[in-house]
Amino acid sequence: MGNLLKGKVAVVTGSGQGIGRAIAIDLARQGAKVVTNNRKSGGTQGAGMLTENMIESMDPGQKEWVLNQYQNFAGDAESTAKAIIEEGGEAIPFYADIADFEAAKALIEKAVMTYGSIDILVNVAGTFGFSPIEKMSREMWDKVTSVKPGGYFNTIRSALPYMIEKKWGRIINCTSRAFWGDVIKHAEYCAANAGVVGLTRAVAIEMYEHGITCNAFSPFARTRAAVDLETYDTVVEGGDKALLNADFAIPFEATPDPEGLAPFISYLATEQAGNISGTIFELAGNSISIYSEPRIIKSIFKEGSKWTVEEIAEKAPFMLLSDYEGLSRYFKK
């Protein structure tokens, strides 16, 4: 066990399995006391985006693979806390749906009542769906965005008064490369993760004077969601497929284990990382990447009278858009 986080108290939402579980265990290995969390005992049961009918329609070999993988990713807050305790760490589980404001508040208060503090908040909880946007239900939209960024706001809002009081805190939010838009048909997930990025940067700026950092990470890892993405398009037809193009598919076996990204999250929670805030990182196995700061890369300006449409049509293609690529990277020419 390490001691970089000795004396710190961490809450990790969505830590029953996958990425959240790996992060919770690593924080404990660095000496933090951890409150693990997911919605309910037993975690996610049954199918995710794959319905029972979809699974039943698969050939026997594929069906067996999916069910075995679901079992491999089974877990909940209690099983993660147990794993931490078995390694000699301190942890307690707390079941709460962070999309509910009062439940999120109770989660944070559990950490304070049990361990006397809340120093580190890692938001990993999330859900997703596959749907062409023109067919997407309002229910799917609300389900996904109520957790990201909604639930993340709920936990951050509840934790900040404690962090402000002690002038120290680390908030780390899970986003996704989907915040740019994606090659997968899940516009609700893209919007949700763009919201996480905006929330992260806003919190970082507002909390700078209080010694509280807020960063986000986009993970690429082998999770339960990767099982669904691997198989979903084999049991749906035409425009309902999740991927815009099969060439974008990444084989399940090519995705790295989530344990590889956890040490960097622990690092962001340390005293040494106190100068890092408002930043988005991408983590994939042993690869750690940082996104550039948003900035204007080119402008055109006209003195005097306002632009006319005709002038813009003449000037913009050569002066503003001369090296414009747009969405070309997503599509074959």
Domain boundaries of the chain, sorted by first residue = 9-290
Q: For residues 75 and 43, is the Cβ–Cβ distance under 8 A?
A: yes
Nearest residue to 125 via CA among 107, 105, 98 = 98
Give the pLDDT of the chain (333 residues) as one tens digit per residue: 789 999 999 999 999 999 999 999 999 999 999 999 999 887 664 446 777 788 888 888 888 888 888 877 889 999 999 999 999 999 999 999 999 999 999 999 999 999 999 999 999 999 988 899 999 999 999 999 999 999 999 999 999 999 999 999 999 999 998 888 777 888 999 999 999 999 999 999 999 999 999 999 999 988 877 788 777 767 777 777 777 666 666 777 778 889 999 999 999 999 999 999 999 999 999 999 999 998 999 999 999 999 999 999 999 999 999 988 888 777 765
Query: C-alpha 273: how far from its chain's center?
Result: 20
pTM of the model: 0.91
Q: CB under 8 Å to 83, separation ≥6 — which residues?
A: 21, 25
Q: What is the pLDDT of residue 247?
A: 64
Helix and strand element counts for the chain (H, E): 11, 8
Q: What is the pLDDT of residue 332?
A: 60
Q: How far is Cα 292 from Cα 258, in angstroms, rounded to an integer?
A: 24
The CATH number of the structural domain formed by 9-290 is 3.40.50.720
Q: What is the pLDDT of residue 246?
A: 63
Token readout for 170 is: 């680390």
How is residue 243 annotated by DSSP?
A: B
Residue 146 φ then ψ, to 5°: -70, -25
Q: CB under 8 Å to 70, separation ≥6 — which residues?
A: 46, 47, 48, 224, 227
Token readout for 288 is: 């750690």
Q: How far is Cα 161 from Cα 13, in angstroms, rounded to an integer?
A: 18
HEC profile for 83-137? Answer: HHHHCCCCEEEEECCCCCHHHHHHHHHHHHHHHCCCCEEEECCCCCCCECHHHCC
Q: What is the pLDDT of residue 49?
A: 76
